[in-house]
Amino acid sequence: MTSIAIIIGSTRPGRKGEEIARWVQEAASGRPGVTYDIIDLAEFPLPLLDEAMPPAMGQYANPHTKEWAAEIAKHDGYIFVTPEYNHSTSGALKNAIDYLYAEWNNKAAGFVSYGSVGGTRAVEHLRLIAAELQMATVRSQVALSLFTDYKDFVTFAPGPQHNDALSNLFLQIEGWSEALKPYRDAAASAR
């Protein structure tokens, strides 16, 4: 069974990411042959990158890194739920990504973003980061606006146009996750 992680990319108090991630997970429920699990960065208190060895070496020293690596390694693909802070993603998400290397390789990545202009600039930065980590990013994404997908900037009320984008995102993330499986298997055999 294919395993996709929905990663909540913010730890900020009052964040919108948690309710968005649950919306994504609920929309994905019942899809055959795949599970969608939420990973909340707030539950992985990673300090600013504190590993002496580069992540590509895979020689993690700290328990928090080993725990994070084990969680990320068990999934075949990821949907990053990212805010846009200062025209980029959150520092917490960037830090969490930077901790690891091989655990991200040969896996698919998709994006659900949010912000005043839908978080699209955060996604553009994440696409560059994902490419360096040998992740295949899918084209479909969901961009949620704080102006039109929230009532009074408080109550999450995504527009119906996001349903088709979300369905396309699921199809692409599932397809690419499966397509990359032989590459993940070959890399695991080489270790």
Question: How confident is the model over 91-138, as pLDDT tens digits?
Answer: 999 999 999 999 999 999 999 999 999 999 999 999 999 999 999 999
User: By the 8 A CB rule, do 121 and 53 touch?
Assistant: no
pLDDT on residue 6: 98
pLDDT grade for 189, boundaries at 50, 70 and 90:
confident
Return mean pLDDT, the chain: 96
Q: For residues 10 and 20, what is the distance between their CA atoms, to the nearest angstrom?
A: 11
Q: For residues 71 and 100, what is the distance between their CA atoms, to the nearest angstrom?
A: 11
Instruction: Name the pairing type of β-strands 155-156 and 34-40.
Output: unpaired
pLDDT on residue 163: 95
Please give the distance of CA 108 from its chain centroid, rounded to a whole number: 10
User: What is the dihedral angle through the alpha carbons of 125, 27, 172, 58, rounded to the nearest 10 degrees?
Assistant: 60
Q: What percent of the chain has a predicted confidence (pLDDT) above 70?
A: 100
Half-sphere exposure of 119 (CA within 13 A, CB side): 28
pLDDT on residue 9: 98
pLDDT grade for 188, boundaries at 50, 70 and 90:
confident
Give the residue-averaged pLDDT of 10-15: 95
pLDDT grade for 21, boundaries at 50, 70 and 90:
very high
DSSP structure class, residue 101:
S
Q: Where are the domains of the chain?
A: 2-190
Q: For residues 153 and 161, what is the distance between their CA atoms, to the nearest angstrom?
A: 19
pLDDT greater than 90 at residue 191: no
The fold adopted by the segment(s) 2-190 is Rossmann fold (3.40.50)
Question: How confident is the model over 136-150, as pLDDT tens digits?
Answer: 999 999 999 999 999
Phi, psi of 26 (to 5 degrees): -65, -40
- Tell me if residue 144 falls in helix, strand or coil: strand
Q: For residues 88 and 94, what is the distance between their CA atoms, to the nearest angstrom?
A: 10
- Tell me if residue 123 falls in helix, strand or coil: helix
Nearest to 78 by CA among 55, 53, 96: 96
